Structure 1
Amino acid sequence: MLLFFHSITIKYAICGVERVNTGRGKLVALAFIAVLVLPTVLASQKAFADGLTQENLPPASFGDQQASLFVKINPPILTTESKQDAYLQFRLFDAKTNETIKFPTLNIAVYKGTDPNAKPLMQDFFQSENGLLTIKVKPQEGDVQVQGNREPFLNALKADPGGTVNISGPVLLDGGLYRIDVSVFGIKYPTNIFKDEDVKTFETALSVGDVYSQNVQSEGKTYPMSIISYYDKVEDFKFNAASKTYSWAMPFNWNTSRIQNAPNVFVHEEVRVPKSFTGVGDASAFDAKVNGKPIAGRMLAVDPFSDENNLILHFLINKNDILDMARNSPPSDGKMSFSFSPAGASEGQQTSGEISTDTGGIHALLNWTPGQLKAGAETKLDIQFVDAFAGTNISDQDVKYDLKIFDKNGKEVLAKTDQTAQGGKGEQAGLNFPADDTYRVEITVNGLVKQGQSPDLTRNGIARGIVVVPEFPAGAMVAVAGAIGAIVVAQRLMTTARKNK
């Protein structure tokens, strides 16, 4: 029997552990059987959050208590040159009070990629007295080795007083997508071991950025570049010196059922090109493509300010974008391809009507008034925050955010911090652009707040866009709103069609 709670799959674990007073030897043996059997059970259903480095999973029922699980991988970027320590962090907490639940006994399995037939890189029982569990990983080849004592009931590794367990082995050796399955076998005190039907399993797939570096040649000069792929490893990098086109690919599973059933899928590629590369690093507009399909607007963010020496481009591709590609022109090689080159001189910049955070969870719809922006004239900005994964406006939460605007030289011309968009709607009046120019707008999402619940910090990020003065930007808002509406209608029609089958 399977029970579904949004992106959580709750399963009856196939193991012989019950809340009974038996000898230690029997329980340890049964726990060992559970470790062997669980991989098969967990592979039967998937609920992944592809492309994210942390996630608050929706709550599951433990008796009369609703509990959520927070999972995080740190650091968010791993380099092949430096095998630094990595961390897997877990926190089971009361979904209503945000109180950390003591003595969780967890069976944790970590896999590379989302292949349901893959063998776990690591799987074991863990227990933390204070409820906070950090698995400190020393990535290295060979078998998994653990440090620490085990408790007598499920033979779980006991975390130290700070909540840490140290392991070494082939876990988080490099960047890419990692599937993590967490089964809760007990809570609140060490001997509280669940019956089979009370075991709950949380599943997610989190990503670690992989850094790819390469030198390119143009007109007798050498220029470095780097790509941080926050989804999977970079492959097939090429540079066409004649057209100044960069291209690369990464592995991607284009199965539409997998993508549709995943609550969150997000691909983020971050490219750095030196500003000294004339014609590329000093360009302000680009022709960018994913799988040969042109992208613009919220899907491509150009950042000339964060790095003094490099221009940064962000490819930001969400679940709906990926589904559209998968249905209309699915690749046959199991890869997602990217390319970009400087845009032609005739292709001017336009004011952004929609921008996306670099973590993919939030879109911001921007509407500037009056219809034609003018230097020295009072301007108003209306912001509608959108749940990027659901494709609907945020209306039942307040969004905490900062707003900053920079001129083309990176000088800050406006800053408003600690702002609140009540019900997802923000308003900034009395803005003033000092001159006719192209400006960069940055909106930093600092958290989503709902009364009676703990703040949601998992979708924090920075959204970047362009404001052109003078320009007529009003139509952008209408077009974007129509696109969002079309997506929502399409999703509802698909849901209805599935129900009628």
Structure 2
Amino acid sequence: MLYQVLITIAMLSILILPMYVNEVYGHGLGGDQAPPIDFSGMQVTVATQLDPSDITVGEVDSANISIRFFDLITDNNLDKVTYGVEIWRGGELLARKLFYDADGQLDIEIRPRSDCNEIQRWRCTTYNGEIEPIGGGLFARGLARPLVTGPIFDKGGLYNIRVDIEGATSPNVLVAERLSFETFVSVAQNQNFFIQTAQAQELPVIVKTYYDEVENLQFDKSNNSISFEMPFDWNPDYVDLVQVVHEEVRVPKSFEPYKEGTEFIGYIDDIELSSKALLIDPFSSPDENIIHFMVSGSELKRVNQELGTSHFDSNKMFFELVPKGVTQTNSFSIDFDTGAKVDVEWNTKFGAGSEIPFGITFFDAFGNLLKDVRYGYTLIDENGKELLTNIGNEPTNPGLLASEGIDTESILIPSSGVYQLQIAIMGQGIGSSTNLKYSGIASGFFEVGPSGQKIVPPASTPASPAKEKVPGWIKNNAKWWSEGQIGEADFLNGIQYMIKEKIINIPDLPEQASETAKEKVPDWIKNNAGWWANGLISEDDFVNGIKYLVENGIISV
């Protein structure tokens, strides 16, 4: 698993840690990871994952919760773990039990029960499985899993999974101080509404909520807007914990104001959202236009700040979706050797000399949205100069996430002309289940003129026509290695992989040693990596170091 993760990260030059991140996964919050805690010199954490990752109430009668206790630095599980697990929803306890797992990855089967009439809902929950004789936790024997049946996942919303590590490395070894972690997973629920148009037509509208039940859906005939409310605690301490609020609004395409190609503006509590917080999906349904509110934690904080301290006491979130008519767009496509395709489009009202919101949509080989994609991009001008590279902000979590297969990136286009956009797909999926099937790098060319101008796309060009031996974004990796932010083994594994996959194109590679050497990488190569990253030496000087590594068997290609 770690090897796959390193390959994924190598695709965008950062080869440090396993790709588990404390953020939203899937189409709501199908997985989560708690901040690490220092334990016996290790940085340990708990990651939780639902399977299936996108659960909708009423559509599954069984689900799996995987709870993994591991060292974030080495990606190794701690074994013989006793877990205290609690499941909460909306401040209400639903389940509490001790569990034991020998290899550090606990799987629990959940069977939702919707007929609970107890005031304290945890009283409806039952537990089945074998009991570990020393610690008393439920555990799995063979392929069996502990089974929990109760009022869990019977309603949509955010579920809090609290995990206490009671013991580790042995069934009878308790940790000196209990290690406590909190993670959140989300279960979707479809809520059906009807709106009456100005023509007295009654139309179905579905809100698919991943956070909490919505209410008071309204349709304003004057501007064709749809609005609704949802319980939400705007206290800054709580907002700090929220990674994303995700709501889907599904409206028939046959309704003219919501037809395919329409531009929308979204509001939260009357504050206009950034273009990145509103994703339009006309692809997934032939009959419905699907609009996603994907409101990040940083966007929620911005709303709170703009409305001031009086807003902190609010216990509601007010959504408003306003159609602004059909837009004229420019677009181009990028085809990957893997069969993946990326469509890029932008509104013609934006032009050269401004920051343009580019809509970026990922498709698989069958034309379906490629969801849960992590990617990065580089913008290159017509002279071959790299203007911008974006692979995210965190070395431990490289890339940008398009959870619905759709993203918006605002990019400054300095002047009129032809540009090249190079996109790297790092992988698809959630956590350790990352799928590299569609990983790769490809490029497309596009022209930007003055605002309001419809552009004819330039003639198609072969994918990945990069002229350099080493893609410029690998400089980040070289710099971090030279500064000690990533390990030598990670750097070498990444360079080795990228040479094999022809991401790095080095002509006249020397013959390599018959066996992989175990000698240390010479200091001059590490120095060269840092100097190249800072522009002090040429690319050829850096490449000479790579050739040395191959010739002396330090890396194998």
Which of 203, 228, 233 pairs up with 1:248? 228
Counterpart in the other structure of 2:445: 431
Find the structure with the greater CA-based Rg. Answer: 2
Q: Structure 1 residues 253, 354: closer, same or farther in 2, change over 3 A?
A: farther
Deviation string 1:99-145 (CA, Å, 9 cap, x unpaired) is 232221100011113xxxx4521111001223321221111144111
CA distance in 2, matches of 1:312, 1:252: 23
Q: Aligned equivalents of 2:378 and 2:290: distance in 1?
A: 22
1:186 and 1:316 map into 2 onto residues whose CA distance is 38
- For the pair 1:158 / 2:139, whether they are aligned, the reply is yes
Check whether the contact 1:381–1:427 (CA below 8 A) recurs between aligned residues: no
Q: Give the drift of 1:360.
A: 11
Residue 419 and residue 190 in structure 1: after superposition, are their counterparts in 2 closer, same or farther (change >3 A)? closer
Q: 1:366–1:281: structure 2 CA closer, same or farther, 3 Å change rule?
A: farther
Partner Cα separation in structure 2 for residue 322 and residue 401 of structure 1: 18
Decide which moves more: 104-113 or 87-96: 87-96
Match for 2:190: what amino acid?
V
* 1:247 to partner: Cα distance: 0.8
Letter of the 1:137 counterpart: I
Q: Distance between the aligned counterparts of 1:401 and 1:246, measured in 2? A: 28
Instruction: Summarize the Cα distance change of 1:308–1:215 in structure 2 as closer, same or farther, 3 Å threshold.
Output: same
Q: Distance in 2 between matches of 1:83 and 1:90?
A: 20
Q: Confirm whether residue 352 of structure 1 aligns to residue 357 of structure 2.
A: yes
Q: Is 1:238 aligned to 2:247, yes or no? A: no
Is the CA contact (8 Å cut-off) linking 1:112 and 1:121 kept in structure 2? Answer: yes
* Change in CA separation of 1:294 and 1:95 when aligned onto 2, cut-off 3 Å: closer
Q: Which residue type is aligned with residue 399 of structure 1?
A: G
Aligned-residue offset at 1:362? 8.1
**Which residue is equivalent to 1:278?**
256
Work out the CA distance in 2 between the residues paired with 1:252 and 1:360.
26
Letter in 1 for 2:288: N
User: TM-score scaled to structure 1, two decimals?
Assistant: 0.62
- Which among 105, 116, 125 is matched to residue 132 of structure 1? 105
- 1:343 partner SS: strand
Contact 2:245 2:293 (C-alpha < 8 Å) held by counterparts: yes
Tell me whether 1:58 sits opposite 2:35 in the alignment. Answer: yes
1:112 to 89, 95, 104: 89
1:191: how far off?
2.2
Secondary structure of 1:136's counterpart equals: strand
Aligned equivalents of 1:304 and 1:265: distance in 2?
25
Structure 2 residue aligned with 1:94, among 54, 71, 76? Answer: 71
Using the TM superposition, give the Cα deviation of residue 415 of structure 1 relative to its aligned residue in structure 2, in angstroms.
9.9
* Cα pair distance change 1:313/1:367, threshold 3 Å: farther
The aligned amino acid for 1:232 is D
Q: Give yes or no for the alignment of 1:182 onto 2:163.
A: yes
**Structure-1 residue corresponding to 2:545:** none
Inter-partner Cα distance in structure 1 for 2:306 and 2:291: 26
Post-superposition shift, 1:76? 4.3
Distance 2:259 2:316 in 1: 27
Q: Which structure 1 segments of 5+ residues have no match? A: 1-47, 371-376, 387-392, 407-413, 421-425, 439-448, 456-501
The 1:333/1:432 distance shift into structure 2, 3 A limit, reads closer
Q: Deviations over 1:139-175 (max 9, x none)?
A: 1144111111212223211223236211111222211
CA 1:361/1:322 → structure 2, altered by over 3 Å: closer, same or farther? Answer: farther
* 1:57 Cα offset (Å): 2.6
- Asked if structure 1 preserves the Cα contact closer than 8 Å seen for 2:423 and 2:441, the reply is no
**Which residue number corresponds to residue 24 of structure 1?**
none
Partner of 1:170: 151
Give, in angstroms, the shift of residue 289 of structure 1: 1.2
Note if contact 1:227-1:272 (Cα within 8 Å) is conserved in structure 2.
Answer: yes
CA pair 306-255 structure 1, distance change in 2 beyond 3 A: same
Shift of 1:382: 4.0
Q: Any conservation in 1 of the 2:163–2:181 contact (CA below 8 Å)?
A: yes
Q: How many residues align?
A: 367
Matches within 5 A, 1:42-81: 52-81=29-58
- Letter of the aligned partner of 1:214 in structure 2? F
2:445 maps to a residue whose letter is: L
* CA 75–213 in structure 1, closer or farther in 2 if over 3 Å, else same: farther
After superposition, the Cα gap between the structure-2 partners of 1:272 and 1:200, relative to the gap in structure 1 and judged at 3 Å, is same
Partner Cα separation in structure 1 for residue 422 and residue 278 of structure 2: 23
User: Which residue of the partner structure matches residue 185 of structure 2?
Assistant: 206
Return closer, same or farther for 1:248/1:365 CA change in 2, 3 Å cut-off. farther
Structure 2 CA distance for partners of 1:431 and 1:363, relative to 1, 3 Å: closer
| Distance in 1 between residues matched to 2:389 and 2:300, nearest whole Å | 25
Indicate if the aligned counterparts of 1:368 and 1:382 stay in contact, CA closer than 8 A: yes
Aligned to 1:384: 390
Shift of 1:184: 0.6
Partner amino acid, structure 2, of 1:251: P
Structure 1, residues 425-480: CA drift from partner, whole Å, max 9, x if none? Answer: x9975524798379xxxxxxxxxx97668x9xxxxxxxxxxxxxxxxxxxxxxxxx
Gaps of 5+ in 2: 1-21, 117-123, 329-346, 351-355, 363-369, 408-420, 428-439, 449-453, 458-476, 478-485, 494-557
After TM superposition, give the deviation of residue 246 of structure 1 in Å. Answer: 0.8
Secondary structure of the corresponding residue to residue 134 of structure 1: strand
Q: Tell me the TM-score normalised to structure 2 length.
A: 0.56
Deviation of residue 202 (structure 1)?
A: 1.0
Moved more, 169-178 or 50-59: 50-59
Show the 5 A alignment for 1:358-437: 369=381, 382-386=388-392, 393-395=393-395, 398-399=398-399, 418=425, 431-432=445-446, 436=455
Contact 2:33 2:183 in 1 (8 A): no
Amino acid paired to 1:384: N
My pick for the range that moved more, 156-165 or 341-350, is 341-350
CA distance in structure 1 between the aligned counterparts of 2:388 and 2:442, rounded to whole angstroms: 6
Matches of 1:323 and 1:416 in 2, distance apart? Answer: 30
Q: Counterpart of 1:231 in 2: which secondary structure?
A: coil
The answer as to whether partners of 1:75 and 1:208 remain within 8 angstroms in 2 is no
- Name which of 316, 325, 332 aligns with 2:303: 325
The amino acid across from 1:124 in the alignment is: K
1:147 maps to a residue whose letter is N
Q: Counterpart of 1:276 in structure 2: which amino acid?
A: S
Residue in 2 that maps onto 1:13 = none
Indicate conservation of the 8 Å contact 1:400/1:418, yes or no.
Answer: no
Which of 182, 190, 195 is matched with 1:216 structurally?
195
Q: Point out the structure with the larger strand share.
A: 1
Q: 1:361 to 1:56 in 2, by over 3 A?
A: farther
The CA deviation at 1:253 is: 0.6
Report what 1:191 is aligned to: 172
Residue-by-residue CA offset, 1:294-334 (whole Å, 9 max, x unaligned): 22421212222233322221212122221222233227551
Give me the whole-angstrom Cα distance separating, in 2, the residues matched to 1:77 and 1:401: 16
